[in-house]
Every structure is written in structure tokens, then in C-alpha cells.
Structure 1
Amino acid sequence: MSLQNKTILVTGASKGIGRALALLLAEKGVNLSLVARSENELLAVKTEVESKGAKAEIFVGSVGDEHFVKETIASTIATFGKIDALVNNAGFGVFKQAADISTAEWDAIYETNVKGTFLFCREAIPHMKAAGEGHIINIASDVAKRVFDGGSLYCSSKYAQDAFSMALRKEVRKDGIKVSVVYSGVVDTYFHSREEGDPYQAKYLTSQNMADTITYILEAPKHVVIDELMIHPMSQEY
């Protein structure tokens, strides 16, 4: 399915996977709403997107802020007249033993990884229902399916995001809305303690690998939904 002139909102769009996805979608003629916390980084992505001939609006704020989310969706509709797809990519991790996790850290992770996904879905769905179609892609992690020592906070947030996505899929399928979840292994991005491009991460998935995968899901024919997609580098056992 062609993405030409589609309107797609991407959260966590200032760097890493979100930035790579925005640039790839720009090459396909997509109208973009880009969300992140860093204004300077978002402005840089907007410049790159527009250099490829695509249109882009940027929104600076927290995905866990209800007012911000409502304003972002409303402005996207006002500017582009529709929202064809939503990619909930924003997320981060804190990795500690459970006894060492602060309440503030717990709240911050769930605010972004779970509440942010919920808020953007909730606000986008009525517009998709009115159009009779739409596509939501939630970027989870392979840890939505497994756990590890030191991962109680991050893993539980991704389990919650995944459970929400699975239930949502059942709710909105009858309305012509697709819900897809991507479970990735390790990706060479700022997410890890090392910088993107560090030799240690040379065998990880790249942001471009992830952007290609998400775009593949978006381009599936209208009657096809890729409910779940698990992706790993060959160097990582699952």
C-alpha cells in the first residue's frame, strides 16, 4: 500500500528509531507529526524531513501529559485533516534491582512507556473510527515476552504496554483499525549506556533496520494486519 500523502504521527522522533523512521517516511511522501522532548533535535529532524520534500509539524512535550497529547492530536487534524497512522515509539528504561527503584523512577517509566501509549491511542482512535480505517503501531520490546534480572521496572512496563495493545486490537478491529506491536531485541541507539555507533554495539540492530521494519508493516495491503513482529540481530539469543 502506498503511503503517499498519508498522515503519520511518530513519538520519540528526535533521534534513534523515531528519527530514522521519520526520514524514511519523508522519502515516501508522508505528512508527518513528530513528537519528542527536545526542541532543538526535533527542529533538526524537521529540516531533514522537509529537505526531502515532505511536510512536517513538530510538537515538543511529554507523551504522558494529557493536555499536550490532546493538543498534538487536535493540531495534527487541523493541519493535515486526518491521522492515518500512529507510531508510539517514545520510551526509556531504568535497570535496577527492585529494592533500589525509587517511586519517581517507577512513575516516570510508566508515564512514558504505558500512559503515553494509552493517551495517544485514546485521542487518535475517534478520528480513525470516523475515517473507517487507521493503523496503530506500538514499539514494545522482546522483554514484553520475557524478563531478566534487574529488569523488573522496564519489563513490567513493556508487559503492560503489550497487554494494552492486545486488548485494544480486539476492540478496534471491527472499526477497520489495525493494531500492530513490534518486539525488538537490542538496537544500536542512545537507549543503551553506550553512544550510538559504539563498536560494542556493531552487531546490534540499527535504527534503519527498525525503520525499515515499521515501514514494511505500514505498507501492508489494507486487508492485511501484521499483529505482531519480533525482530532480533543474529548475535542475540532470545
Structure 2
Amino acid sequence: MNDLTNQVAIVTGASRGIGKATALLLAMQGASVVAVSRSTDELEELAHKTRGLAITADVCDEIDVQNVVAETLRHYGRLDILVCNAGVGSFSPLEEFESAEWDRIFDVNVKGTFLMCKAIVPLFKEQRRGHIVAIASDVAKRTFPNGTVYGASKSAQDAMLGSLRKEVRPFGIKVSTIYPGLVDTYFNDRQPGNPELEKTHLKPSDIAQAVRYVLEAPAHVVVDELMIHPITQEW
């Protein structure tokens, strides 16, 4: 089993939901966590709990992303793990979507993942180790009504990660993609904690445990893809 003690992990979208649960769990396992989000106040509270580093940044902005990596290296002197969790979505019939909403969803879900990976891959190649874990969605593998834009973004993200996985494997770099089903979180401006959803949805902590699982795999093992659903969800 891979020991996470003293490893340094960047977690994007860390201010709440899956990102927050993941940051807290990795810190409990001994990792130094760099929490990244656009929400400064929530980040500072999280950094206090994890005793890690909080960086307010937009994953869609290449300068912000480069600063995240530079500050991580300046503060800790190393980087071992990237968890690409930042994501947005909205759901409507195709003809009701504005092109600006298409841009927003693709910027965060696809471009944000691209920029974060682009910034750390050269470092990981140089040190010939590193682990990228991306929180995608099960809709990367299936379609559903009103999911045209979100599903397209997640399919694009998945294809990018699949190609990257093949590019970096010869350098000893792992790329793992996790595909959650229904999760009771803040996604799509929903407020978590509805008692009915607790019966039918996963919790953010369930996805955090999945991240821990793939990160703790032995050095010679890589979990390429992991699909995780609540048992009540039809697939």
C-alpha cells in the first residue's frame, strides 16, 4: 500500500463538497494539502482544519494555475498528487442553452483539467513519478435528456485523460479517473442534506474514500478508471 504521509497534494474545487471531503481525508492520512478554489473564506477555514495551504485561484486562468504550482513548490518543495475536482454543470434542453453557458461549463470541466495537468506534467516527468486523479462523472460513459452540454464536457474531459494516461505511463506517472454517479452535494446550486437524497445518493465522503483508494494502491499498480454509484441508481 502506498503511504500518503508527507506527500503533497493539490486539490481543486476544494472549498466544499467532494473537494473539501477529499482534502480533509488526505490530510488525515498524513498528506500536506494545497486547497484550491475561488472561494477565499471557505478555503481559509479548510486550510485551518488541514493545516495545509489555501490558494484562491481560477482553474480556467493559466496564470492562476501556474501560480498554484509555483506556490506549492515554494512552500513544500515537492508535489506528488493532483486531484482535479473543480467542476460545474447545468441541465436543460439543448435549444435553451446560451453559448456563454457552454463556454462556462467547458472552461471549468475541460480547460481547467487541461491547464492543471499541463502545469504539473513536466514536473512529474522530470521526477518520474506523480499521480493525477480526476473526478469526472458517470455521464462521460452514458447520455441522458437535458445533459447535452454537461455530458459533452465530461466526455471531452474523459477522452483527454485517457490520452494523457498513455502519454505519461512510460514516465511512471499514474492517471486515475473516477466516475461518480449521483452525489448529494452542492452541484448545480443544490443544497445538500435533504433526507430523501441521503437514501438515494452517495456522500462526498464516499468519493473521497475512492480517491484515497486509488492513491494508496501499491507503486506497481494503477487504477485507471473507477465507476462508483449508489446501489439505488440504475446504470
In structure 1, the partner of 2:230 is 233
3-state DSSP of counterpart to 1:20: helix
- TM-superposition CA deviations, 1:30-63 (whole Å, max 9, x none): 111111110001011111112xxxxx11111211
Measured in 1, the distance between the counterparts of 2:107 and 2:80 equals 25
- 1:223 to 2:220 alignment: yes
* Fraction of identical pairs, as percent: 48
Out of 128, 133, 144, which is 2:124 matched to? 128
- 1:62 to 2:58 alignment: yes
Pairwise CA distance, 1:199: 1.4
Measured in 2, the distance between the counterparts of 1:193 and 1:112 equals 15
In structure 2, the partner of 1:146 is 142
- Counterparts of 1:39-50 in structure 2 under 5 Å? 39-50=40-51
Provide structure 2 residue ranges, at least 5 long, that are not aligned to the other structure. Answer: none
Measured in 1, the distance between the counterparts of 2:148 and 2:129 equals 36
Out of 162, 165, 176, which is 1:180 matched to? 176
In structure 1, the partner of 2:92 is 96
3-state DSSP of counterpart to 1:68: helix
- TM-superposition CA deviations, 1:84-137 (whole Å, max 9, x none): 010000001011111111111011101100000000000001111111100001
| Comparing 71-80 and 143-152, the one that deviates more | 71-80
* Count of residues paired in the alignment: 233
3-state DSSP of counterpart to 1:182: strand
Sort the Cα spacing of 1:193 and 1:236 in 2 relative to 1 into closer, same or farther, 3 A. Answer: farther
Measured in 1, the distance between the counterparts of 2:57 and 2:197 equals 29
* CA contact 1:82–1:127 (8 Å) conserved in 2: no
Measured in 2, the distance between the counterparts of 1:5 and 1:136 equals 17
What's the TM-score, normalizing by structure 2?
0.97
Out of 63, 75, 82, which is 1:79 matched to? 75
Pairwise CA distance, 1:193: 5.1
- 1:212 to 2:209 alignment: yes
Provide structure 1 residue ranges, at least 5 long, that are not aligned to the other structure. Answer: 51-55
Measured in 2, the distance between the counterparts of 1:168 and 1:138 equals 12
Measured in 2, the distance between the counterparts of 1:194 and 1:218 equals 29
3-state DSSP of counterpart to 1:202: helix
* CA contact 1:11–1:88 (8 Å) conserved in 2: yes
CA RMSD of aligned residues (A): 0.9
* CA contact 1:186–1:232 (8 Å) conserved in 2: yes
3-state DSSP of counterpart to 2:24: helix
In structure 2, the partner of 1:171 is 167
Measured in 2, the distance between the counterparts of 1:11 and 1:89 equals 5
Pairwise CA distance, 1:192: 4.5
* CA contact 2:11–2:35 (8 Å) conserved in 1: yes
In structure 2, the partner of 1:105 is 101
Runs of 4+ residues over 6 Å off in structure 1 = none
What's the TM-score, normalizing by structure 1?
0.96
